[in-house]
A = this chain, B = another copy of it.
Amino acid sequence: MQNVLNALRVLEEVAARQPAGVGDLARGLEIPKSTVQRALLTLHTAGWIRQADGGGATRWVLTTKPLLVSRGATGDLSLRDVAVPVMEELRGRCDETVHLAVPEGGKVVLIERLETSQPVRIILPLGKNLPLHASANGKAVLAASGPEALERHLAEGLPRFTDTTLTEADGLRAELARIRERGYATNDGEWRTDVSATAAAVLGKAGRPVASISVNVPSSRVTSETRAAHGALVCEAAAGISAALGGTRAAERLPRPTP
* A→B interface (CB under 8 Å): 1, 3-5, 7-8, 11-12, 15-16, 18-19, 38-39, 42-43, 45-46, 48, 50, 53-54, 62-64, 66-74, 76, 85, 102, 104-105, 109, 111, 115, 125-127, 206, 208
Contacting residues, chain B, for A3 (C-beta < 8 A): 1, 3-4
Contact A15 B111 (CB under 8 A): no
A-B contacts, 29 of them at CB < 8 A, read A1-B42, A3-B3, A4-B4, A4-B7, A5-B42, A5-B46, A8-B46, A15-B68, A15-B69, A15-B72, A15-B73, A16-B72, A19-B76, A53-B206, A53-B208, A63-B73, A64-B74, A64-B104, A64-B109, A64-B127, A66-B66, A66-B69, A66-B70, A66-B73, A67-B74, A67-B127, A71-B126, A71-B127, A85-B115
Contacts of A38 in B (CB 8 A): 1
Contact B115 A45 (CB under 8 A): no
* Bound-state Cα–Cα, A111 to B3, Å: 30
How many copies of the polypeptide does the oligomer hold?
A: 2
Q: Once the chains are docked, how many angstroms separate the CA of A39 from the CA of B1?
A: 8
Residue from B18, B54, B64, B111 in contact with A64 in the complex, judged by beta carbons closer than 8 Å = B111
Q: Once the chains bind, are A71 and B102 in contact (CB under 8 Å)? A: no
A64-B73, A64-B109 are known contacts; what are 8 more A-B pairs with Cβ within 8 Å? Answer: A5-B46, A15-B68, A15-B69, A15-B71, A53-B206, A63-B73, A64-B111, A67-B126
Set of chain B residues within 8 Å of A73, measured between Cβ atoms: 15, 62-64, 66-67
- Tell me if A50 and B105 are in contact (CB < 8 A): yes
Instruction: Tell me whether A127 and B42 are in contact (CB under 8 A).
Output: no
- The smallest beta-carbon distance between A61 and chain B, in angstroms, is 8
Closest CB pairs A-B (n = 10) = A66-B70, A68-B127, A67-B70, A62-B73, A15-B69, A4-B7, A64-B109, A15-B72, A4-B42, A70-B70
Q: What's the least CB distance linking A6 to chain B, in Å?
A: 8
Q: How far is the CB of A79 from chain B (nearest CB, A)?
A: 11
- Chain B residues lying within 8 Å of A15, measured Cβ to Cβ, are 68-73
